[in-house]
Amino acid sequence: KISYDEAAISALFVTLCLEAYHERPKRMIIDLDATHDPIHGEQEGRHFHGYYDCYCYLPLYIFTGRHLLAAKLRTSDKDAADGAKEEIARIVAQIRSRWPEMEIILRADSGFARDDLMAWCEENGVDYIFGLAKNERLVKAIRRDLAYARRTSRRTKQAARRFKILEDWETLESWSRPRRVIAKAEWTQGDANPRFLVTSLNWIDDARYLYEDLYCARGDMENRIKECQTDMFAGRTSAATMRANQLRLWFAAFAYVLLCALRRIGLTGTAMATATCGTIRLKLLKIGALVVTSVRRVKIAMASSCPYQDIFAHAHERLIAAAR
């Protein structure tokens, strides 16, 4: 039986992220997302999820760039944002204990546009930009922009879009205060495709930048989740209890952190500098070699035909230099 300190493990992810920076960044953009982890037995916490059409867990991932800040296992009967406020509060407190004036922006899809999370951000000096589910009132507010986009699209035979800022937007019941909404009025493939964001960012009035450059960049987080779930086998949560499966998720998460460190420190300047964790694992680590152990050293003899031996040696040298 393995015992563990959940608080210490959770804090270690943030500590390793902060130590990876040589100097204080101008700002940190923190991405949140939920994904499904199919289960195929009678594990604790087994629930059917209608959207994913399977029995699964619903782990919460939090990243900043390539750095993993949290991997929390949850049952799939929860809301996508369940527990996000508590995780963010913990992470932000740890970041600001080192950099008190750090500008932090949260970024996530509409599943996280919850009043309690946004209210916490507003009370604690954290900005956010979240997707916002469309409704009739929002679509009606940009009907003229949609009409203009439709005429433009029919004239040019291409997709057309316009952007608009809806200041002090209020919901009928769900929000505790008015908020800023960014609207995209798009006409594509002969049909309307309106999209919306809610944000606390007020230092720029360029709605196109906020949507296309800032918000849409969150799509890269899908690649990070894929590296964890697929390349590092985070989906192997087949133990009987939630506690054991959370530990399995952390093992996979730490494997991801280690390979990210290898990529960042050891593979700079090589053909694998931007490779995925799966590529690094298969091409650089999952290879045949003869290992000879003596009293003073461990000798690894690789085949002379190994195509990546130069990269392996380069990474080895850089890792040794970084440890000095």
Q: Residue 17 half-sphere exposure, CB side, CA atoms within 13 Å?
A: 26
Angstrom distance (rounded) from CA 252 to CA 18: 20
Q: Identify the CA nearest to 27 among candidates 99, 108, 102.
A: 102
pLDDT of residue 238: 92
Residues 6+ apart with CB under 8 A from 245: 43, 45, 57, 73, 237, 238, 239
Distances (CA, A) of 110 to 54, 168, 198: 22, 18, 9
Angstrom distance (rounded) from CA 260 to CA 266: 10
pLDDT of residue 2: 81
pLDDT of residue 114: 97
pLDDT of residue 324: 83
Ranges of the chain with pLDDT below 70: none
Quick one: angle between helices 242-261 and 6-19, nearest 10? 10
pLDDT of residue 302: 86
pLDDT of residue 287: 87
Question: pTM for the full model?
Answer: 0.94
Distances (CA, A) of 217 to 260, 268, 278: 20, 23, 22
pLDDT of residue 300: 84
